[in-house]
Structure 1
Amino acid sequence: MVVTKITKNKEYPKMVKGKWMIFVVILVIVPSLVLAQKKCLYVSTTTGFAPLASDPIVNKFVEWGLDLTYINTTEAALYFEEDYAPFDFVFVDEVVPSSSLEPINLLEGHIIPLLTTENYAPRATILGYLTNQQAVNIAAEAVKIHNGDHPLAAGFATGSEVVINDGAGANEDLIPNLPEIDFIPIAESKSWPGLYVAYGVDAGGTTVNGVPITHRGAVLGFHENGYSAINENGFKLLKAAIDWITEDLSAVEKVSNAVPETWLLAQNYPNPFNPATTIEFQLEKSAHTTLSVYNSQGQLMTALVDEDLNAGTHRVTFDAENYSSGVYFYSIQSGDFSHTRKMILMR
Structure 2
Amino acid sequence: YVDGHGTTTETQEYSYIDNTVETGTFFYRLKQIDFGGRYAYSDVVQVDVVAPANFALEQNYPNPFNPSTKITFILAVDSKVSLKVFDVLGQEVANLINGNVAAGSHEINFNASNVNSGVYFYRIDAAGVDGANFTSVKKMILTK
Q: TM-score, normalised by structure 2?
A: 0.63
From the two aligned structures, give the one with the greater strand fraction.
2
Please give the residue correspondences for 1:207-222 in structure 2 after superposition, counting only pairs within 5 Å. none
Deviation for aligned residue 1:302: 1.2
Corresponding residue number in structure 2 for 1:343? 140
1:309 partnered with 2:101 = yes
Matched, 1:299 2:91: yes
Change (3 A) 1:274 1:255: farther
CA distance in 2: counterparts of 1:255 and 1:337, whole angstroms: 23
Change (3 A) 1:254 1:332: farther
Structure 2: how far apart are the matches of 1:317 and 1:277? 6
Q: In 1, distance between residues paired with 2:88 and 2:122?
A: 11
- 8 A contact 2:22–2:103 mirrored in 1: no
Task: State the alpha-carbon separation in 2 of the partners of residues 256 and 282 from structure 1.
Answer: 11
- % of aligned pairs identical? 41
Q: Alpha-carbon deviations, 1:257-278, whole Å to 9, x = none?
A: 2301110000000000000000
The Cα offsets for residues 227-277 of structure 1, whole Å up to 9 and x where unpaired, read as xxxxxxxxxxxxxxxxxxxxxxxxxx8554230111000000000000000
CA distance in 1: counterparts of 2:113 and 2:78, whole angstroms: 31
1:1-347 mapped onto 2 (5 Å cutoff): 256-257=22-23, 258-335=50-127, 336-347=133-144
Q: Which has the larger radius of gyration?
A: 1
CA distance in 2, matches of 1:268, 1:255: 20
Output the CA distance in 1 between the equivalents of 2:138 and 2:22: 22
**What SS class does the counterpart of residue 83 from structure 2 fall into?**
strand
Amino acid at match of 2:97: V
Distance in 2 between residues matched to 1:310 and 1:254, nearest whole Å: 13
Q: Quick one: higher RCO (CA 8 Å, sep 6+), 1 or 2? A: 2
Give the structure 1 partner of residue 11 of structure 2: none
Q: Deviations over 1:163-185 (max 9, x none)?
A: xxxxxxxxxxxxxxxxxxxxxxx
Change (3 A) 1:297 1:254: farther
In structure 2, relative to structure 1, the CA distance for the partners of 1:301 and 1:254 (3 Å cut) is farther
CA contact (8 A) 1:254 1:313 kept: no
Quote the Cα distance in structure 1 between the aligned partners of 2:70 and 2:22: 16
After superposition, the Cα gap between the structure-2 partners of 1:282 and 1:325, relative to the gap in structure 1 and judged at 3 Å, is same
Q: Distance in 2 between matches of 1:280 and 1:333?
A: 14
One-letter identity of the residue aligned with 1:281: F
Read off the aligned partner of 2:139 and give its amino acid letter.
K
